[in-house]
Structure 1
Amino acid sequence: MKTLFVGNIAPETTENALTELFGEYGKVRKLEMPRDVFSGKCKGFARIDMEGHEARAATAALDGKTFLGSSLKVRDERPKRKGRRR
C-alpha cells in the first residue's frame, strides 16, 4: 500500500471527483481531503492510499495534469521524521 500526497487541488473539488480521477488507475483504498470548517471547500490537498503499482501509474499520469483549472502535484507521501531537524 502506498500513500500519495496530492497538492494544488481546486477548492470546489469533491471526494467523488478525486476518487473517480484516481480510480482510472486502480482502486482508491482510502481518501482524506481536509475541508475548511466554515466554507466547506477543499483546503487544497489530499492523501490517497492505493496499491503500489497503481499508485505509481497514477503518479506518472496525473502529476502536472490540469484538473478543474488547477495543475495537480502528485507525490509519494513521505513519513514524518522524528526528532530534531539539523
Structure 2
Amino acid sequence: MSIYVGNLSYEVTEEDLKAVFAEYGTVQRVSIPTDRETGRPRGFAFVEMQEESKEDAAIEALDGAEWMGRDLKVNKARPREKKSSFGGGGRRNDRYSDNY
C-alpha cells in the first residue's frame, strides 16, 4: 500500500519526504510525479513504508499538518484507475447509448 501526500510545496525533494516519514517508520520508496511538459513537480507525492501500521500512524499525524508553509493532505493512496486504450476516456453519453 502507499500513502498519497498532497498540497506539497513545489520545492520539496524525495529526501525531505523521506526525513519526515522516517519519524514514523522505515520508508521504502518516495515518488514525486512531475509534469511531462515542464518537468516541474505536480504538488503531490506517494510514499511507501515497510509496515502498514506505521503508514497509519504517519497518516494520522501528518494529515492537516503544516509543513513548508502548506497544510498537508495525507491519506491512503487509491489504486490507479485503468484507462481505456480508446480516445474519450472510455465513457459514453447515456443519452445515445442505444445507438451503439
Structure 2-normalised TM-score?
A: 0.73
Q: Deviations over 1:18-43 (max 9, x none)?
A: 11001100011111002346765421
Give the Cα separation in 2 of the matches to 1:43 and 1:71: 16
CA, structure 1 residues 12+81, in 2 after alignment: closer, same or farther (shift >3 Å)?
closer
> Is the Cα contact below 8 Å between 1:14 and 1:42 reproduced in 2?
no
Quote the residue 1:73 is aligned against.
73
CA RMSD of aligned residues (A): 2.3
Give the Cα separation in 1 of the matches to 2:40 and 2:27: 21
> Is the Cα contact below 8 Å between 1:5 and 1:77 reproduced in 2?
yes
Query: Where in structure 2 are there 5+ consecutive unaligned residues?
Result: 85-89, 92-100
Quote the residue 1:10 is aligned against.
9
Identity percentage over the alignment?
40
Quote the residue 1:46 is aligned against.
45
Q: Deviations over 1:1-28 (max 9, x none)?
A: x200110001111111111001100011
Give the Cα separation in 1 of the matches to 2:2 and 2:80: 13
Large movers: runs of 4+ above 2 Å: 35-42, 80-85
Quote the residue 2:56 is aligned against.
56
> Is the Cα contact below 8 Å between 1:12 and 1:41 reproduced in 2?
no
Q: Which has the higher contact order (CA 8 A, sep 6+)?
A: 1
Structure 1-normalised TM-score?
A: 0.83
- Corresponding pairs, count: 84
Query: Where in structure 1 are there 5+ consecutive unaligned residues?
Result: none
